Amino acid sequence: MKTRDRILVTSLTLFNEEGEAHTTTIDIANELDISPGNLYYHFKGKDQIIAELFHQYEVALSGTLAAPIEVPLGSGRGHVEDNWYYLYVVLEEMYQYRFLYHNLDDILHRYPDISRRFRRLMQLKRATLFAICGALTRQSVIDAEDQQLLSLVDNMTLVLNFWLNYDQLLYGQRDPQMTIHQGVLQLLTMVAPYLGEEQMSFYRDCENIYANMLAADED
């Protein structure tokens, strides 16, 4: 792996584990066992590293978020399951760059360019969730009126965007799979009141999976 790529990989790990605000370029250089000058040759400061990491995140997540807008997922009972797995992928990608969400207000304040692009990314999240819920409504998987649908989408966008920050504040460091699984379950919980009995059986399966995960974690 090239030094530039190693710097990005190591920076992402340190930002996620130690917090972006508490990680300096010296810390990154020390972790890589390279000189600060070597790091500076590739990135003139931490702001350039963050900008590059955000670009990677933006490209990856934008591509994933665009999928349900371009091609609706599944149909019937399978539609609920398809969207479960899809949202799991979305939260997995968000988790890989969780430092952005753990210190979101501060980062957006210090990096105006990222702030504008993050806002567009959040709008894309909302459009994606609207596409998912709209498809579920058209296929009679959920029964929601126009205003209910808009409110449902806004609530789901809110949870999706701030789930990682909430999870960290409530639990600190815990198994990533529990964080992601519960996050998806929270999103499905908002849809649950609109589901028919057949689709509810899959939702209850998801609840049971999370309950078993909690029980195993306590043992």
Examine the domain organization and report whether 50 and 39 are in the same domain.
Answer: no
Give the total number of structural domains in the chain. 2
Which residues form the domain of 92?
A: 46-218
Residue 140: the pLDDT is: 66
Query: Which residues touch 218 (CB under 8 Å, ≥6 apart)?
Result: none
For the stretch 100-113, pLDDT in tens is 999 899 999 999 99
Residue 36: the pLDDT is: 93
Q: Give the CA count within 13 Å in the CB-facing half-sphere of 132.
A: 28
Examine the domain organization and report whether 160 and 57 are in the same domain.
Answer: yes
| In the predicted structure, residue 190 carries a pLDDT above the cut 50 | yes
Residue bearing the bigger pLDDT, 133 or 159: 159
Question: Residue 203 and residue 209: Cα distance in Å, rounded?
Answer: 10
Residue bearing the bigger pLDDT, 202 or 148: 148
The CATH number that applies at residue 53 is: 1.10.357.10
Give the 3-state secondary structure of residue 142. Answer: strand
| Two tokens, residue 141 | 């998987």
Examine the domain organization and report whether 28 and 101 are in the same domain.
Answer: no
Examine the domain organization and report whether 67 and 135 are in the same domain.
Answer: yes
| In the predicted structure, residue 82 carries a pLDDT above the cut 70 | yes
Examine the domain organization and report whether 124 and 175 are in the same domain.
Answer: yes
